[in-house]
Amino acid sequence: MPRDTSVAQSGSIVSGVAGRYASALFELAREANAVDKVGQDLARFEALVAGSEDLARLVKSPVFTSEEQVAALSAVLDRAGIGGLTGNFLRLVAQKKRLFVVSSMIRGYRDLVAKAAGIVRAEVTLAEAPSAQRLNDIKAALRETAGGEIDLAVKIDPAIIGGLIVKLGSRMIDASLRTKLNSIRLAMKEVG
Calculate ∠ Cα 58-29-24, nearest 5°.
Answer: 65
The answer for residues whose C-beta is within 8 angstroms of residue 63's C-beta and 6 or more apart is none
In terms of Cα–Cα distance, which of 184, 192, 21, 30 is closest to 115? 30
CA distance 103 to 125: 23
In terms of Cα–Cα distance, which of 91, 84, 7 is closest to 38? 84
CA distance 192 to 181: 16
In terms of Cα–Cα distance, which of 75, 68, 57 is closest to 94? 68
CATH 3.40.30 fits 119-191, yes or no: yes
Indicate the domain borders of the chain: 6-115, 119-191
pLDDT for 192 equals: 66
Q: What is the DSSP string of the chain?
A: -----HHHH-TTT--HHHHHHHHHHHHHHHHTT-HHHHHHHHHHHHHHHHH-HHHHHHHH-TTS-HHHHHHHHHHHHHHHT--HHHHHHHHHHHHTT-GGGHHHHHHHHHHHHHHHTTEEEEEEEESSPPPHHHHHHHHHHHHHHHTSEEEEEEEE-GGG-SEEEEEETTEEEEEEHHHHHHHHHHHHHHH-
pLDDT for 29 equals: 97
Mean pLDDT (10-residue bins), the chain, 192 residues: 40 74 96 96 96 94 93 96 96 95 94 89 94 94 89 93 90 93 90 73
- CATH fold of 6-115: Peroxidase; domain 1 (1.10.520)
pLDDT for 8 equals: 41
pLDDT for 13 equals: 55
